[in-house]
Amino acid sequence: MINPDYGSLIDLLPTESNQMTTSAIDTNWMQQAIEIAQQGLGNVEPNPMVGCVIANQEQLLAQGYHEQFGQAHAEVNALASVPSDADLSQASMYVTLEPCCHHGKTPPCTTAIINAGIKRVVVATTDPNGQVNGGGIELLKAAGIEVLLGICEPQANSLIAPYFNATQNKRPWIIAKWAMTLDGKIATTTGSSQWISNAESRAVVHQLRGRMDAILVGHKTAICDNPQLTARPTETTAKRQAIRVVLAQTPTLHLDSHLVCSADEIPVIVTAGPAADSDHCQQLIDNGVEILAFDDNQGIIDGLLSVLYQRQVTNLLVEGGSQLLGSLFDRQLIDEVHVFIAPSLIGGTSAPAPLGGCGIEKMSNALKLTNPQFKTLGDNIYISGRTKRE
């Protein structure tokens, strides 16, 4: 599976050495823990991806990762894989995130670690969750376990960025996606947009959708494109289906649209402002659509993001249109970008570009991508990366 968000971490793995220092050994195993943690992508949210390795110097004893939300954490899975004759008193545990110390859907990992007899735990980064946030480390130290903190911390923080964002900012991690022509258009002057990208690019989009909690489009996009917003499964994609969301002030979504017709199978949420037609909203409700009503049009975006956060939506994919993406851009809410560029030209002054809104005034203030990834998908160019404001 193409995974631009975390694929660059693969390049961080060190080359093998017959004589490795303790520091190099710690780094090596932690990078392996980061690598295996990514196998939980799309399955563990709203929890973070976490990986764990148990080793005695250069000898690997066991490893595990958080595989599914609500199920055992990485540390417990790793401990369950330890050979029965292994002596853990001389081993180190490497875990990408501070072990939990509270009862949630599973018992605290700190208890499992202490009971296992491990005497040294290497932690990449602390857990920002207020129920942990250093408490897990303190419990391990109180039990006489040596704790080393901060090995590969930047990579580990990158791994849990959506989780950290939800914890700190109380909103989903917002991922903007669009396909555009070489002259920067996402549709013609008449609104035609299917298909700008090729089949290979669309397959990657289904991979993205297959690890999302929710997918958001603007009302005009929902009307003009009549999208399904589903992750069509292949051999490598579609771990789950995301909630479909339409941002509207006065929704007029057709009752025979793909979204409405499938609302009973995959949830659909439509926002509505104070001027919305109550009769049409009721018809949507009767067809299985959830209506989120707001008293103020200006507060719809903030209100929607708040509701999605409360419903444990960690990753939100925004697929357009120009007005919605521009509004999120102007408010500095876009955290990650995935763009598919086709070698075609359509022209037209009124043909929409990806980002509407007010935009920036100076190039020096342009929103930049950190460590952008570039891939060729047939005749399309795929660019992705996380955003960074200087």
With contact defined as beta carbons under 8 Å apart, do 376 and 348 qualify?
no
pLDDT computed for residue 19 by the predictor: 42
Q: How confident is the model at residue 78 (pLDDT cuts 50, 70, 90)?
A: very high
Share of the chain above pLDDT 70, in %: 91
Does the pLDDT value for residue 44 go beyond 60?
Answer: yes
Does the pLDDT value for residue 130 go beyond 90?
Answer: no
Please say if 75 is a catalytic residue.
yes
Placement of tokens 């491990």 in the chain: 118
pLDDT computed for residue 8 by the predictor: 43
Q: How far apart are CA 21 and CA 334, in angstroms?
A: 41
pLDDT computed for residue 194 by the predictor: 83
Does the pLDDT value for residue 384 go beyond 70?
Answer: yes
Both structure tokens of 42: 């799309």
Q: How far apart are CA 163 and CA 173, in angstroms?
A: 8
- Is the sign of the CA dihedral 40, 41, 43, 48 positive or negative? positive
pLDDT computed for residue 161 by the predictor: 94
Q: How far apart are CA 62 and CA 50, in angstroms?
A: 15
pLDDT computed for residue 82 by the predictor: 92
Q: At what angle do helices 109-116 and 135-142 cross, to 10 degrees?
A: 20
Q: How far apart are CA 168 and CA 157, in angstroms?
A: 13
Q: How far apart are CA 242 and CA 229, in angstroms?
A: 8
Placement of tokens 């408010």 in the chain: 331
More confidently predicted of 333 and 389: 333
Q: How confident is the model at residue 103 (pLDDT cuts 50, 70, 90)?
A: low
Q: What is the pLDDT of residues 67-77, one digit of tens each?
A: 988 889 999 99
pLDDT computed for residue 20 by the predictor: 56
With contact defined as beta carbons under 8 Å apart, do 66 and 49 qualify?
yes
Does the pLDDT value for residue 119 go beyond 70?
Answer: yes
Does the pLDDT value for residue 290 go beyond 60?
Answer: yes
Q: What is the pLDDT of residues 224-276, one digit of tens each?
A: 899 999 988 654 444 678 999 999 999 999 999 999 999 999 999 999 999 99
Long-range contacts of 252-255 (CB under 8 A, 24+ apart): 252/219, 252/223, 252/277, 252/280, 253/219, 253/222, 253/223, 253/284, 253/289, 254/223, 254/226, 255/283, 255/284, 255/287
Does the pLDDT value for residue 223 go beyond 50?
Answer: yes
pLDDT computed for residue 101 by the predictor: 82
Q: pTM to 2 decimals?
A: 0.86
Q: What is the pLDDT of residues 104-116, one digit of tens each?
A: 667 789 999 999 9
Q: What is the pLDDT of residues 180-213, one digit of tens each?
A: 999 999 999 988 888 899 999 999 999 899 889 9
Both structure tokens of 382: 């795929």
β-pair type (268-272, 380-388): unpaired
Selecting among 16, 35, 45, 75, the annotated active-site residue is 75
CA 63 → CA 33, 81, 275, distances in Å?
Answer: 8, 7, 56
CA 150 → CA 88, 158, 224, 352, 370, distances in Å?
Answer: 22, 13, 49, 46, 22
Check whether the bond before 64 is cis (ω within 30° of 0): no
213-232: average pLDDT: 92
pLDDT computed for residue 7 by the predictor: 44
